[in-house]
Structure 1
Amino acid sequence: MAFLVLLSIVGVLLVLQYLMLYTARHCSSIPTVQPSYPIVGNLLSFWNNSSMEAFWMLVKSFRGVDRMAKMVLGPKVLILINHPELLQKVLMNNEMLDKPFFYDFMGLGGGLVSERDGKRWLMERKVLNPTFNTRMLTSFLSIMDARASKMAANLRSVADGHTEVDMIKFVGECTLEIVYNTTMGRNANELPGQRDYMRNLNMEDGTEFTDREISDNLYTVMAGGHDTSALTISYACMMLGMYPEIQAKVVAEMNEVFYDSSVPITLDTLKQLEYTERVIKEVLRLFPPVPFAARQTRNELVLDGVKIPPNQIVVINFYAYHRRKDFWGPDPERFDPDRFLPEASQGRHPYAYLPFSAGLRNCIGMRYAMNSMRIMLLRILQEFEIGTSLKQADMRLKFEVMLKLVGPHNVWLKKREKC
């Protein structure tokens, strides 16, 4: 019996070794992340690690990659790409729309973010694109402003200049209400009406959305529009509290554009908040809410002359990628919105900064998110001065589908005399 068990184990190991060699030999010219061991490859580096530890191990691996490397996890090979030329080639490739198996375990259902079948995703995306056109975005502004103003009113009760406030609680409630009000009707209890609306949307081939697809896409909108924006504005409040000179510039710009209460919030007035936009962009660079993306090759893919066979996984880590010194200078950890000045951006590769990904599978709600975040910051800073005792070096991050802070997003708020 013991001999049969041993023979079975040896057989399994040989099969794993064969599968690994079969896959790896197609990518033999791509350097392997170290340490790597026979049969298991890099698997031991992730063995018995938490999701947070595994994420930071992956970040460490990416920081040692200039263009491309491979990570061998038993029979699976991950192709790590970390250069804008390669990212552009992958993300702009219409045959690179499929996503790998681990998106099934992200808890996002089968909506736009995690739908693995690229062809199915493309049909759904074409149907949902009109939801985020300019006319619709304009109609959302008054709702966003009303919810942001309500949030500011709720913050008044804790704005005593010294009490620590966990901003994610207030901003999270605000973004949740914005998403409900703009995409699901006036109130959350009007969700059935939105289901009827989506049920009447047909694919190009006349196929209707199923109940599961409706639920998945509504959940995707909720998660994408709520969590990501809430995290970004909470990080932004912390950074503005740490850098009062930057906060002062944002407030000065807001005072200049919205010089009295008669100035309406429109797409044009929001565009005038150029420094505010640079602040948000810098927050997204340092703290991308979705810190990685992955694609699965449907056909052969050629990168740097290497032929990568079908059904291989290509991985991008935006957290590490946005900290490349050759694109962001010798101090990429420093918070500096002026990195996004036109003169500073000149010559930088257009794919060096990808907080919303890029290509066909970029974030459908990118403009929606930027509008809501500018409005939320406007209403917060018009009423309050933000401060914090924390330093940027104190911030510890964890990965739980999104990039989150370990602990509260604590700041203190003080009512402004005039804004």
Structure 2
Amino acid sequence: MNVYLFAVVVILWYMLYRYRRRRVYELAALIPTAPEKIPYVGALQHSYNIMNNIIDLIHKYTDFAQNNGGFVKIWVGPMLYVGITNPEDVEFILKNCLEKADIVKLIRSIVGNAGIFAPVSIWTRRRKLLIPAFSPKIINSFMNILINQSEELAKQLSRHKKVGTGRFEAWSFISAYTLGSVCETALGIRINYVQNPDNKFLKAATNLFALMADRIFQVWLWPDVIYNCSSKSTEFYENLKTVYDLTDEIIQTKKEELKDEDIQLDSDSVIFGQSPKKVRCFLEHLILLSKNSGGFTDVELREEVITFLLAGTDTSSVAICNTLTLLAKYPKEQEKVYQEIVEVLGELDRPLEKDDLKEFKYLERVIKESLRLFPPAPLLIRKVTEETSMPTGVTLPADTGIIVSVWGISRDKKHWGPDADCFNPDRFLPDRKTGLFIPFSSGPRNCVGYQYALLSVKMALVGVLRRYKVVGQEEEGPAPKIDTKFTIMMKAKDNYQIALEAR
């Protein structure tokens, strides 16, 4: 009797659940269904293969969407996600739908409510506090530091005998450069990670991203109560502690230095000390601002610092490594970059100066083309909080997750031309019309540090390419291939195996 009663209750509950969500199912029925369904639990037996073939998966769903009005429906159990590829719809979403989808909650287990992942109610206040810290005036003040870091990167490659000795994994050296640059420019701490690329923090950060990507594709591990009982949670929290320890050390050191510093705001809300020493970095700005009401708490400082350490390190590292890999595949394009460096610097042993950077026009186009073909973050995730009509006419039900395929949009032949899959830096010439270019997102929630990231990427490439030729297997055709895996960022499976030869 009890079994029958239980069955009746379950059936009635399910009927009520479906009835309350009838509008969701009504609107979802009008959106094309993905070629493969993603079930709620258990059936993702091949999550590892999905992670390691993310390009194929994204390509498949993107092609399907582009052939079906720019939309594709994906059910993850009861949760509805819609992939969109039409540029007009994408721009609308990125401008008007600022809430992040529920899946982002998993990443918050690493960074908390940092601005990049925070709910809109928290993000609005934090964004206002963050923007002045990334003003062009402050970013330009970092130029000499980045020049020195890029010079150190080139020297350490030689000292570690990576020049003229065959292939090696470039990832550890490049990520050490970006982390060292972030620590010094954004946090005011000089830690020369380039001299020790096998450091604990870099390994912990890499492991955290890999573990989080693994969890994303294993839906049954989404609930914390289940994940915390799994063997992977132990490894996750051990790596998280390593990241937290460095972050806390940096914050406390800087707070001690600034404990007697008063603050004064200029017209751009940039903080300057009343003493002759001006605020030098992103973290100092946030700490001093936090002395007044409305600033950051210690927990919020940690969240923002961790986000910048992790995101600032990985995105720039991927962009640098992808660009070096592409230049190895296309030596003629690499030679053009080198000749431009020679023309700008005159003598290759002349120290790089601030005014030199704006002259590297071709290198800038190469970087943009690298970001277009291989965006570090291949997907952007948003959520519509209420029923929303898209510019192209499709209506999305409330609480629908939105997946924007940066990879797919960047290779859309309708907007980038029939050679969209090909490596052609000149498509970014000033007089050329391009498709939607969003490697750093777009709209109010775009990457607040994108100008810093581009500067860091350009510095590193000049530092390496002025001294070394990148050697690798040349690509047979104009469409380059990099075998990638998904670890939140999209990185090469071989950790960027390249070879360097002295010029």
State how far apart, in whole Å, the 1-side matches of 2:467 and 2:330 are. 18
Q: Which residue of 2 aligns with 1:384?
A: 468
Cα offset, 1:68, TM superposition: 2.2
Q: Which residue of 1 aligns with 2:60?
A: 60
Q: Deviations over 1:256-280 (max 9, x none)?
A: 11113556422x4212111101111
State how far apart, in whole Å, the 2-side matches of 1:355 and 1:407 are. 23
Q: Which residue of 2 aligns with 1:48?
A: 45
- Give yes or no for contact 2:411–2:421 (8 Å, CA) kept in 1: yes
State how far apart, in whole Å, the 2-side matches of 1:258 and 1:127 are. 38
Task: List 4+ stretches of structure 1 deviating above 6 A.
Answer: none
Query: After the TM superposition, which residues 6-405 of structure 1 pair with which residues of structure 2 at under 5 Å, given as runs?
Result: 10=11, 14=15, 17-18=18-19, 21-35=22-36, 47-50=44-47, 53=50, 55=54, 56-66=56-66, 67-93=70-96, 96-106=97-107, 107-115=110-118, 117-157=119-159, 158-187=161-190, 190-194=250-254, 197=284, 198-202=286-290, 206-260=293-347, 264-266=352-354, 268-303=355-390, 304-343=392-431, 345-346=432-433, 348-349=434-435, 352-389=436-473, 391=475, 395-405=482-492
Cα offset, 1:175, TM superposition: 0.5
State how far apart, in whole Å, the 2-side matches of 1:399 and 1:13 are. 36
TM-score by length of 2: 0.73
State how far apart, in whole Å, the 2-side matches of 1:137 and 1:313 are. 34
- Give yes or no for contact 2:372–2:439 (8 Å, CA) kept in 1: yes
Cα offset, 1:45, TM superposition: 11
Say if 1:376 and 1:46 are closer, same or farther in 2 by CA, change over 3 A: farther
- Give yes or no for contact 1:232–1:289 (8 Å, CA) kept in 2: yes
Query: How many residues are treated as equivalent by the alignment?
Result: 403
The answer to which of 293-302 and 141-150 deviates more is 293-302
SS at match of 1:342: coil
Letter in 2 for 1:65: A
State how far apart, in whole Å, the 1-side matches of 2:368 and 2:33 are. 33
Cα offset, 1:79, TM superposition: 2.0
Say if 1:164 and 1:19 are closer, same or farther in 2 by CA, change over 3 A: farther
State how far apart, in whole Å, the 1-side matches of 2:164 and 2:31 are. 55
Cα offset, 1:295, TM superposition: 1.3
State how far apart, in whole Å, the 1-side matches of 2:451 and 2:140 are. 11
Say if 1:12 and 1:101 are closer, same or farther in 2 by CA, change over 3 A: same
- Give yes or no for contact 2:113–2:122 (8 Å, CA) kept in 1: no
Letter in 2 for 1:57: L
State how far apart, in whole Å, the 2-side matches of 1:404 and 1:103 are. 20
Cα offset, 1:342, TM superposition: 2.4
Cα offset, 1:77, TM superposition: 1.4
Q: Deviations over 1:190-234 (max 9, x none)?
A: 43244564243259x942312221111001111121111111111
State how far apart, in whole Å, the 2-side matches of 1:16 and 1:46 are. 23
The answer to which of 220-229 and 66-75 deviates more is 66-75
Say if 1:290 and 1:366 are closer, same or farther in 2 by CA, change over 3 A: same
Unaligned runs of 5+ in 1: none
Percent sequence identity is 27
State how far apart, in whole Å, the 1-side matches of 2:388 and 2:42 are. 28
The answer to which of 207-216 and 5-14 deviates more is 5-14
Cα offset, 1:46, TM superposition: 6.7
- Give yes or no for contact 1:166–1:408 (8 Å, CA) kept in 2: yes
- Give yes or no for contact 1:24–1:77 (8 Å, CA) kept in 2: no
TM-score by length of 1: 0.87
Q: Deviations over 1:163-203 (max 9, x none)?
A: 21211111111101000001111325643244564243259
SS at match of 1:25: helix
State how far apart, in whole Å, the 2-side matches of 1:171 and 1:148 are. 10
Cα offset, 1:309, TM superposition: 3.6
Q: Which residue of 1 aligns with 2:237?
A: none
Say if 1:160 and 1:187 are closer, same or farther in 2 by CA, change over 3 A: closer
Unaligned runs of 5+ in 2: 192-248, 259-283
Letter in 2 for 1:226: T
- Give yes or no for contact 2:87–2:409 (8 Å, CA) kept in 1: no
Say if 1:404 and 1:87 are closer, same or farther in 2 by CA, change over 3 A: same
